[in-house]
Amino acid sequence: MNDRKKAVHVGTVVLETVKGHLWLSLTILAVVAGAVGAALVPPLVLGRIVDGLTAGERLTLRLPLWYLAFTALAGGLESARESALTVFGQKTTHALRSRLMEKEGRLPADELNRQEPGALVSRFVGDVDTVETLFTAGIISMAADACRILSILVVVWQCSRGLAYLLLALLPVLFLFTRFVQKRMLHNQLKNRKAVSRASGYVPETVRNLRTIRTLGKETYMETRYDGALGESYRAIEGTNFYDALYSPVILTVNAAVVGAVMLLSASGDPAVLTLFGMTAGTAVTVMNYISQIFSPLESLGMEIQTIQSAVAGVRRINDFLAQPEQETVAPETENPAAPMVELRDVDFGYEAGQNVLHHLNMEIREGELATLSGRTGAGKSTVFKLVLGLYAPRRGTVRIQGVDPRSLTGPQRRALYGYVEQRFHPVPGTVRDQITLYDDTITEGQVRRAAELAGLAEAIGALPQGYDTPCTPDIFSQGQWQLLSIARAVAADPKLLLLDEITANLDAETERAVLRALKRATADRTVLSISHRVGADTGRLIPIGEES
């Protein structure tokens, strides 16, 4: 199955988003290129103005207007880029989350059991957000900044070869310096975060153990420990501040030194120097402008590399999740009403390799029959249910529901075929009606009411402030009533087969009687397969599971 399907990873999803929103992607490209180009023009116009003035020409309004127009255009395109990137980021996030959700639905039952809710949430929320940042604040911004630096270098090359060489030699050194400062700042920020969390941890610990600390005279020890964490945080913040304070003066000094050096060289009378550095007053103004413009993308480039580095881990985690093996799907089969309702033939099954929970299990339940699986704890009764529900495939032998492999059934087919009442009711977010329909629009209002009637819950629901539309909170029903709601949910789609998993296990005698009365109504005219430790009069045919089979 898996090899038939093309492997999906973050790259595929982003590419699909690009293709699916081609206009948006082209707009981003256009505004990125436009912003880079527009930012190049104002210094050139400024140069022209200065050259004109030094040549004694009269300054008309045209050039200053061009200057203003291009400055405004560059700003406008920058903000358009940010907006387009935000929209694109949201589309990518949506596509990624949808893919993750689809994948989640295709995972085998075992994998779902193993998943930790916290890890899953951090994958869906945190990791997806980092991927969004990777593309918006990372790769695309990095490309834009690299283009800005390159385009400035190209224009400077036209204005002054000497300055272009100087910048080419200087930029790598400045970039390394930027990265060094950023890494030191990040290191200190992490150190501070750790120290603060340690200090915060000490407070509840001290309060919890106050009596022991007093009794053993450990006040000074606790104080020193707390002081140590605070001191560490203080030193880390100092470190961050130092590098933060160091960066701007260094860049400004380099900026001033480069401008000063170029001006001095361009003013020297040496013809050899002038071939490299000679320029008019206007060009001097232009290049000064460019020099100050080139440092800000350099700094952003460092931050973007940081963003990309930290996002790579998130991408890897999402790719690992998407690469997990999926539940084997089975081609749809046609039900055969003449076949037994449930049929297990020579079934072997185990969860772990080398472990067999069921051995050579054979059982057959005919339509309308009432049967109960019996056996000691851990014998495999619930496992039989999982096989009948098609959550797992047998290692050997066959499992059939009306002649079809239960794994081949679609969601609606399943609901029409069997209802499952678990030991405990699992609510879904929503109203009382949603608990019964499980958001299935094909279940009519009449079916909902009949199901509640059958479960003996119609009156209790009617007494609720908004009846079926009452939002579900844990206090609206008693434990027994939740179990009745479970029965209503199972019978809502009028299924042929009811699977009952020890549904009276945790109930008191009176509630159990109410549930059993509801069951009697719900199970009439249906095939029923139940699990029970206790064997009563209404359990029908007993099917031993485990050693007894």
Ligand X SMILES: Nc1ncnc2c1ncn2[C@@H]1O[C@H](COP(=O)(O)OP(=O)(O)OP(=O)(O)O)[C@@H](O)[C@H]1O
Please, what is the minimum distance in Å from the beta carbon of residue 365 to ligand X?
Answer: 17
* Residue 495: both structure tokens together: 């299924």
Residue 357 vs 371, nearer CB to ligand X: 357
Residue 40 vs 545, nearer CB to ligand X: 545
Contacts of 88 (CB under 8 A, 6+ apart): 17, 21, 24, 25, 28, 135, 136
Please, what is the minimum distance in Å from the beta carbon of residue 396 to ligand X?
Answer: 17
Judged by DSSP in three states, 217 sits in coil
Please, what is the minimum distance in Å from the beta carbon of residue 510 to ligand X?
Answer: 24
Please, what is the minimum distance in Å from the beta carbon of residue 378 to ligand X?
Answer: 4
Parallel, antiparallel or unpaired: strands 527-531 and 418-421: unpaired
Q: Write the interaction track for ligand X spanning residues 74-113; mark x where CB under 6 A is met and - where it is not.
A: ---------------------------------------x
Query: Is the distance from CB of 301 to CB of 456 less than 8 angstroms?
Result: no
Query: Is the distance from CB of 134 to CB of 314 less than 8 angstroms?
Result: yes
Stretch that binds ligand X, among 150-158, 337-345, 373-381, 406-414 (CB under 6 A): 373-381
Residue 380 vs 394, nearer CB to ligand X: 380
DSSP H/E element including 499: strand 497-501
Please, what is the minimum distance in Å from the beta carbon of residue 544 to ligand X?
Answer: 11
Please, what is the minimum distance in Å from the beta carbon of residue 393 to ligand X?
Answer: 14
Q: Write the interaction track for ligand X spanning residues 375-394; mark x where CB under 6 A is met and - where it is not.
A: x-xxxxxxx-----------
DSSP H/E element including 43: helix 22-54
* Residue 123: both structure tokens together: 């994958």
CA distance 322 to 99: 8
Size of the site for ligand X (CB under 6 A): 12
Residue 379 vs 497, nearer CB to ligand X: 379
Residue 351 binds ligand X (CB under 6 A): yes
User: What residues between 106 and 135 interact with ligand X by CB under 6 A?
Assistant: 113
Query: Is the distance from CB of 90 to CB of 129 less than 8 angstroms?
Result: no
CA distance 501 to 511: 17
User: How crowded is residue 352: how many other Cβ atoms within 10 Å of its Cβ?
Assistant: 8
Please, what is the minimum distance in Å from the beta carbon of residue 450 to ligand X?
Answer: 31
Residue 235 vs 376, nearer CB to ligand X: 376
CA distance 196 to 190: 10
Contacts of 24 (CB under 8 A, 6+ apart): 84, 87, 88, 91
Residue 34 vs 375, nearer CB to ligand X: 375
Q: Which of 167, 185, 357, 361 binds ligand X (CB under 6 A)?
A: 357
Residue 128 vs 344, nearer CB to ligand X: 344
Please, what is the minimum distance in Å from the beta carbon of residue 502 to ligand X?
Answer: 7
CA distance 135 to 203: 40
Residues that bind ligand X (CB under 6 A): 113, 351-352, 357, 375, 377-383
